[in-house]
Amino acid sequence: MKKRIALNIVLAVALFLIAAPAAGCDTRYIPSEADKKNTQGLPSEFLMLGEAWQLLQKNFVDRSKLDPLKMAQGAIRGMVEATGDPYTEYYTPQSYQSTMVELTGVYQGIGAYIGKKDKNIVIIAPMEGSPAEEAGLKAGDIIVKIDGESTETMNSDDASMRIRGKAGTKVKLEIAREGASELLEISVERREIHVDSVTSEMKGDVAVIKIQQFILPTISDFKMALQKAFNNGAKGVILDLRNNPGGILDQAVDVASQFLTRGIVVKVVDKDGNEQVHKVRPGGMAADIPLIVLVNEGSASASEIVAGALQDNQRAKLAGSNTFGKASVQNIVRMNDGGAIKITTAHYYTPNGQQISGAGLKPDLPSELKDDELVEWAVDYLDKEIAGQAASK
């Protein structure tokens, strides 16, 4: 019911922009009774939208450029941006379909997760082996321009749509990077991106399992990776969540539950203060095996939920650097025209009540090691733990 109300409110704005009657340029817009019904209970301030449309229609020099659909979408986008929340975004029907395709793990683009932080469009993380990584893009890079167009007024969805494109074409990004005195110009050739949600390999007695993103196939792929590790005689697990930008909440709860027998994974608090507790789901495959979790500044959202659950439940130590710090939950609410609004509907807290927005999770074992060097360090760490367990038996 709440979703339907949200749909009706947003749709009403679009209809109001399109259907409002004409008004003179020197008078205030006075709505008719029919117009008042069109507002469907909207605040009276929204009458300004109709007034603005009529003033433009009456006075704008080139009326052929007044596209009601584009202007309605622009008004919705502006309304959403006015919330001040970087994670609440408007999707046109086209961008909604593109976003849904990404959750399946196959799309065309450069293979980089982007988001909005401190009013900037930033690279949360390039995917391993992607065109973005090959071109030298790094986590934390600020995208200043896309093909010469400033990102100043873009949300992350706007930027994503401009960066995506047909495989074989190129996109030029102007990047501000910490420590660089000038903007970097980086041209990236788009390819078809196949997101392997989970990858794994054995390093001696230790299984290194990396989750790239929490998408629809994640939990099934993750269970297969765990089973493969056990079949290969794994005595310890490194869970690599570095540069994982998050994804689907349920997938994160399922993954964390593989390492826990009881307790809480995450607490979600909505706008009315109602708390929903996501408890550990039974049937975990790896509740006793020695475990360490790797994180960095590109670990965000759902990956922070998993890391926070394992840290707070004292199941594993986190190694690496502070995480991104995205502690909110979004729901995508469909609109009648095929578009959608991604709305921040709740904040989440770790099992011990940490609200990590902006600050991120602090690793138990801080390290400046990068890439494979941190993995090798973690293998040595687990080898010692495994040896200690064997000696105590």
- Catalytic positions, please? 301, 312, 326
Q: Are 374 and 380 in contact (CB under 8 A)?
A: no
How many Cα neighbours within 13 Å face the side chain of 310?
34
Residue that is written with structure tokens 């990047």 in the block: 175
What are the start-end ranges of the H helices in 43-183? Answer: 47-59, 68-81, 93-102, 131-134, 156-163
Nearest CA to 168 among 136, 192, 137?
Answer: 192
- Residue 267: which residues within 8 A CB-CB, separation 6 or more? 275, 276, 277, 278, 348, 349, 350, 351, 353
Residue count (the chain): 393
Tokens of 178: 């910490």
Distance from the Cα of residue 366 to its chain's centroid? 25
User: Which residue type, as a one-letter code, is found at position 278?
Assistant: H
User: Which residue type, as a one-letter code, is found at position 106?
Assistant: V
d(CA 19, CA 29): 13
Q: Are 163 and 171 in contact (CB under 8 A)?
A: yes
d(CA 279, CA 256): 10
